[in-house]
Structure 1
Amino acid sequence: MASIELVRVTKTFEKNDVIKDLHLTIADGSFTVLVGPSGCGKTTLLRMIAGIDPQTAGSVLIGGKDVTSIAPGKRGVAMVFQNYAIYPTMSVRENIEFGLKNNKVDKEERKRLVETISATVGLADYLDRKPSTLSGGQRQRVALARAMVKKPSVFLMDEPLSNLDAKLRAQMRLELIELHKQLGTTFVYVTHDQVEAMSMADNIVLMNKGVIQQEAPPDGMYHDPSNLFAAQFIGVPPMNIGELSMNGAKFGFRPERAQVRPAGQAGGTNPDHFSMTGMIVTREMLGSETLYQVRRSDGNAYMVKCLEDLFAVDQEVQIDVAPEHLFFFAEDGSRIRRDDRSYAEYMRALRGMRNG
Structure 2
Amino acid sequence: MASIEFVRVTKQFEKNVVIKDLDLKIEDGKFTVLVGPSGCGKTTLLRMIAGIDPQSSGSVLINGKDVTRIAPGQRGVAMVFQNYAIYPTMSVRENIEFGLKNNKVPKAERTELVETISATVGLAEYLDRKPSTLSGGQRQRVALARAMVKKPSVFLMDEPLSNLDAKLRVQMRIELIELHKKLGTTFVYVTHDQVEAMSMADTIVLMNKGTIQQEAPPDVMYRQPNNLFTAQFIGVPPMNVGELGRGGVKFGFRPESAELTHEHSGLHYAARGRIITREMLGSETIYQVRCGQHAFMIKCVEDRFTVDQDVHLGVAADKLVFFEADGSRISTEHALFKDHLEALRGIPHGA
TM-score category by the smaller chain?
Answer: over 0.9
Task: Write out per-residue CA displacement over residues 213-248 of structure 1, whole angstroms, 9 at most, x where no aligned residue.
Answer: 000000001000000000000000000000111010
Aligned partner of 1:267 in structure 2 is 265
TM-score for both structures, normalised by structure 2: 0.99
One-letter amino acid of the structure 1 residue matched with residue 265 of structure 2: G
Equivalent position of 2:329 in the other structure: 335
Given that 2:31 and 2:200 are in contact with CA atoms closer than 8 Å, whether structure 1 keeps it comes out as yes
Matched, 1:313 2:307: yes
Cα contact 2:100–2:110 (8 A) shared by 1:
yes
8 Å contact kept, 2:34–2:204: yes
- Which SS does the other structure have where 1:122 is aligned? coil
Residue of structure 2 aligned with 1:285, choices 280, 300, 314: 280
The one-character-per-residue Cα deviations of 1:184-226 (angstroms, maximum 9, x if unpaired) are 0000000000000000000000000000000000000100000
Residue 346 of structure 1 corresponds to: 340
Listed as ranges, the matches of 1:168-247 within 5 Å are 168-247=168-247
Separation in 2 of the partners of 1:32 and 1:267?
Answer: 41
How far the C-alpha of 1:266 sits from its partner, in A, is: 4.9
**Residue pair 2:51, 2:71 contacting (<8 A) in 1 also:** yes
Amino acid at match of 1:306: C
Partner of 1:156: 156
Could you say which residue in structure 2 is the equivalent of 1:10? 10
1: CA distance between counterparts of 2:241 and 2:178? 36
Structure-1 separation of matches of 2:4 and 2:99: 24
Name stretches of at least 5 consecutive residues in structure 1 with no aligned partner: none
Aligned length in residues: 350
Matches of 1:210 and 1:109, distance apart in 2: 43
**TM-superposition CA deviations, 1:77-125 (whole Å, max 9, x none):** 0000000000011000000000000100000000000000000000000
Following superposition, the deviation at residue 15 of structure 1 comes to 1.2
How is 1:45-60 mapped onto 2 (pairs within 5 angstroms)?
Answer: 45-60=45-60
Contact 1:245 1:349 in 2 (8 A): no
User: In structure 2, the residue corresponding to 1:335 is in which secondary structure?
Assistant: coil
In structure 1, the residue corresponding to 2:335 is in which secondary structure?
Answer: coil
Give the letter for the 1:255 counterpart.
P
Alignment partners' CA distance in 2, 1:300 and 1:249: 15
TM-score, reference length from structure 1: 0.97
Does the CA-based 8 Å contact 2:264-2:270 persist in structure 1? no
Please tell me the residue identity of whatever aligns with 2:347: M
Matched, 1:276 2:243: no
What is the distance in 1 between the residues matched to 2:274 and 2:264? Answer: 18
Counterpart Cα distance in 2 of 1:122 and 1:301 = 47
* Contact 2:265 2:313 survives alignment (8 Å): no
Question: In the alignment, what sits opposite 2:69?
Answer: 69
**Conservation of the 8 A alpha-carbon contact between 2:265 and 2:312:** no
Shift of 1:313: 0.8
- Contact kept? 1:18, 1:210, Cα under 8 Å: yes
Cα distance in 1 for residues equivalent to 2:31 and 2:40: 20
- Please report how far the alpha carbon of residue 53 of structure 1 lies from its aligned counterpart in structure 2 after TM superposition: 0.3
Letter in 2 for 1:290: T
Equivalents in 2 of 1:243, 1:348: separation in Å? 14
The amino acid of 1:92's aligned partner reads: V
Question: Is the partner of 1:342 in helix, strand or coil?
Answer: helix
- Structure 2 unpaired stretches of 5+: none
Alpha-carbon distance in 1 for matches of 2:265, 2:281: 27
Change (3 A) 1:342 1:266: closer
1:119 match: secondary structure: helix
8 A contact 1:33–1:205 mirrored in 2: yes
CA distance in 2, matches of 1:74, 1:312: 61
Please state how far the C-alpha of 1:352 moved relative to its aligned partner: 2.3
SS at match of 1:180: helix
Cα distance in 2 for residues equivalent to 1:266 and 1:107 = 75
Q: Compute the displacement of 1:340 (Å).
A: 1.3
Contact 1:246 1:349 survives alignment (8 Å): no
Asked if 2 retains the 8 angstrom alpha-carbon contact of 1:274 and 1:354, the reply is no
Whole-Å Cα distance in 1 between the matches of residues 129 and 41 of structure 2? 37
Counterpart residue number, 2:250: 250
> What amino acid sits opposite 2:274 in the alignment?
M
| Partner Cα distance (2:194, 2:79) in 1 | 21
**In structure 1, distance between residues paired with 2:6 and 2:102:** 30
Q: Determine what percentage of the aligned residue pairs are the same residue.
A: 77
Q: Distance in 2 between matches of 1:211 and 1:167?
A: 32
